[in-house]
Structure 1
Amino acid sequence: MGYAYVSLVVPRSLCIKFSSSYLLNPSVVDKRKRFRSTHYTHKHYYSYNFKIQQPLHASPVACAAAKILVNSDETHPSLEEGSEKLGIFSDSGFEDLVWPSPSDEIPFWKKDFPSWKMSLEVPVNVEMDSDVMHLIHVTAEMAPIAKVGGLGDVVTGLARACLARGHQVDIMLPFYECIQKELINELALITTYASYHDGNWVSTNAYRGVVSGIPVIFIEPSNHFFKGKYVYGGSYNELEAYLFFSRACLEWMQVTETQPDVIHVHEWQTSALPLLYWDMYHSLSLKKPRIVLTIHNMEHYGECNQEQLSKCGLNGSIYATVDKAIDDRTIGHNPERLSLLKGGIVYSNAVSTVSPTYLKETLCTGWLASTLIRNRDKFEAM
């Protein structure tokens, strides 16, 4: 199988996307050329050489480029000329993309959620698993209805992949006031119950709906949590809201006698759930589930003091130890501070991260590396 060398003019933001999704074995040329154009919001473009494995069926972009530039050393003096020859923006679907810019009047994280049409058909030739399980994802984000970053994409992708392999899958999500309800099918109230917060039992509604073919359970407390125009940045205390949500999900499972095989929590927002499960709900009623935590971004660690953790019904002081949830950065001068993400790592049955590369990075750098090394036997990559 041969190789073709192709020169492409691509936006800087797409360099990773091209190299990982469209082209094989990218090798950057020694000299980068930067171009400017008034036709696109994103101003900076690079000229790249790529080594493409043939046959060239991986991408319309790669195929179009190869037809023009195979065995050619030509580079393009301008973005307009390069994109016109290659058809990058006109033929590949990128012509509708608008790149975020610091000069945008509305920052990208405050704009309307992106939406897309997603096929609900199960992919063909998917191997079905013989050991079918019931999986519940507990998460702060889900694409496309409550998407801020990559977390929502990963959760939706994982859920659909497991459904395609024959598993029973649910997602539990806060019923944010800003959620695009028009994207939820078959939305209906299924349970009204009470969940604990700061000495009070808060009346809570649980709704069931279907989003992108995935069953979703929406948790809506009667207090001010999750109210506002955006997923994050509301007028409520986000840390306390997600502590409440973590317990409310377990409380719903107890009230409805739901016993999944796996509860899959994501990021710091739901990292208190493993603590609540093993130190409270496992002894009460939930005997079957095991807990998986996926770390998407190690930079967000869920800073929390003992008093705040106690508001969800746990005794925050018992977690202020090195082997549980104390924030390692503050040992000796701020023993009150805890890390929910560290506690989630310690208390989960399995811990995963989004790629083998990120797994290696988290084991070698960052203040949680020592915790991950101590728990290396249960730390894997997707």
Structure 2
Amino acid sequence: MDIVHVASEFAPIAKVGGLADVISGLSKALAKKGHRVTIFLPKYDCLDDSLIEDLQVLQKSFPIEESGILIQNTLWSAKYDGIDLILVEAHHPRDYFKRGKIYGEEDDSDRFLFFCKVASTYLSKHLPDVVHLHDWPTSSCSLFLKNSVRMVFTIHNLHHQGRCAPFNLERIGLAYEEEEMRDTQYDEAINLLRGAISSSNVITTVSPTYMKEILTPDCGCGLHEDLQKNKKKLKGILNGIDTDYWNPETDGFLDEKYNLETQKTGKKANKRKIQKHLGLPEDDKPLVTAITRLVPQKGPDLIYYGINKTIELGGQFVLLGSTHDPDMHKEFQELADHPNIAICLDFDDALSHQLYAASDMLLMPSIFEPCGLAQMIALRYGSVPLVRATGGLKDTIFDGKNGFTFSIPDNKGVAEVLEKGFAAYKTEEWESLISAGMQANLGWDASVDQYLEIYQ
């Protein structure tokens, strides 16, 4: 089967969050099954092209019209780990993909509408068997390619919907049905994600529980009625993780590699390494970590409380996070004055691997979590997840079996799971939790078969 993913991220060459890891992991799993997989991606100036192979010009001149003006693009072909890439270099007067970042610009709607028109124009002349779209940045491909190819649209996070004005679509020459595209919450606004819900052949979410949640008014972000109308083509498929990349037995970022049989000595060695590296006392206190973006979805106030509660219980805490909020940055950084707390507010991929290996517990008190990957990585590395039972966290972590869970997102819930974790630490129950986690099937095998079924 010839499968094309149109995406705004792809790990590790262009990554902001878990979306990049999911597209990479799913693509590799599909390729291993013998399918041809191609990723369409903007050629960002911040894209790490040192990680790709066979970079060469596919089409030097690929003009696209915007506001009545022809704008040149260059299409590049490349490979990453057996996956074909097509990278769009836009020679746009507004330097759409030369901003030093992937998202966070005032004209993000224009940037990704333009990218979608380039991708769709190319694909309309080279139709694959299926086009798989991911989140609002690529949702408008479903309008450009409507009724010409089978399209699957995955909602990774319904909170981000791609709202824009009608003129944004008009300037790119995109015809649309006003009723299907009008935003449900803001007058005169267009909702790109809503358009993909009606235009795609199949809609997927990244976990079964999140699929159920977004059908409700509380979690549907204004689109629950649209999703209910399209329920027959809606399916929840749990993400996996790349078990080759996330493997404590072969992880190149670890000084001391380990497996289930050697996890006691392996994790202790990695714990000592992290303690020394971050200036923490080198002892056997429980080490709790949080590895996350500090955005409202992730419950930063609950993480802040959890850090203090960990110290109260006699443990150590390492936060590896990122935030664009200077006040939040200052608030968390001040906690680092405590000898048993380390705060790292610049994302560091190597350090994330080392923390999964070194930590005894991972705290993940998400307000909502479509799937979540950190809890699955923690399981694989023998770190016991302490999570709120929502979305994909509810589908992967089971209280007292492979971690500890709480339901209501408040300080009391965080305190309860930390107290359970500390009470179980280094008991027979603890070894049972670690064993269950490290033996779990966390890869893409089961999920990729479900995707192949809906691709048909």
TM bucket normalised to smaller: 0.5 to 0.7
Could you tell me which residue of structure 1 aligns to residue 44 of structure 2?
176
1:363 deviates by: 1.0
Consecutive aligned runs of 4 or more in structure 1 exceeding 6 Å deviation: none
Matches within 5 A, 1:279-294: 287=148, 289-294=149-154
Matches within 5 A, 1:198-347: 198-223=67-92, 224-234=95-105, 237-254=107-124, 257-278=125-146, 287=148, 289-315=149-175, 318-321=176-179, 324-330=180-186, 334=187, 336-347=188-199
CA contact (8 A) 1:143 1:156 kept: yes
> Gapped runs of 5+ residues in structure 1?
1-132
1:354 is aligned to 2:206? yes
Q: Distance in 2 between matches of 1:337 and 1:233?
A: 19
1:360 deviates by: 0.8
1:143 is aligned to 2:15? no
Q: Distance in 2 between matches of 1:311 and 1:276?
A: 14
CA contact (8 A) 2:5 2:40 kept: yes
Could you tell me which residue of structure 2 aligns to residue 128 of structure 1?
none
Could you tell me which residue of structure 2 aligns to residue 156 of structure 1?
24
Figure out how many residues of one structure are paired with residues of the other and give that number: 231
Letter in 2 for 1:338: I
1:353 deviates by: 0.7
Letter in 1 for 2:122: W
CA contact (8 A) 1:319 1:338 kept: no
Q: Distance in 2 between matches of 1:160 and 1:351?
A: 21
1:258 deviates by: 1.1
CA contact (8 A) 1:294 1:354 kept: yes
Q: Tell me, what secondary structure is at the counterpart of 1:227?
A: coil
Letter in 2 for 1:176: Y
| Structure 2 length-normalised TM | 0.49
Q: Distance in 1 between matches of 2:123 and 2:190?
A: 27
1:375 is aligned to 2:233? no
Q: Distance in 1 between matches of 2:120 and 2:131?
A: 10
Q: Distance in 2 between matches of 1:311 and 1:162?
A: 36
1:232 deviates by: 1.9
1:207 deviates by: 0.4
Q: Distance in 1 between matches of 2:103 and 2:139?
A: 17
Superposition CA RMSD, Å: 1.3
1:208 deviates by: 0.6
Letter in 2 for 1:375: N
Q: Deviations over 1:6-28 (max 9, x none)?
A: xxxxxxxxxxxxxxxxxxxxxxx
Report sequence identity in percent.
36
Q: Deviations over 1:207-244 (max 9, x none)?
A: 0111232111001111111112222235x721101000
Q: Distance in 1 between matches of 2:107 and 2:101?
A: 14
Q: Tell me, what secondary structure is at the counterpart of 2:214?
A: helix
Letter in 2 for 1:266: H
Could you tell me which residue of structure 1 aligns to residue 442 of structure 2?
none
Q: Deviations over 1:238-273 (max 9, x none)?
A: 11010000110011224xx31101011100001111
The structure with the greater share of residues assigned to helix is 2
Q: Deviations over 1:324-360 (max 9, x none)?
A: 1111113xxx2x2111000011000110010101111
Q: Distance in 2 between matches of 1:140 and 1:229?
A: 14
Q: Tell me, what secondary structure is at the counterpart of 2:88?
A: strand
CA contact (8 A) 1:319 1:325 kept: yes
1:313 deviates by: 0.6
| Structure 1 length-normalised TM | 0.59
CA contact (8 A) 2:155 2:203 kept: yes
Letter in 1 for 2:40: M
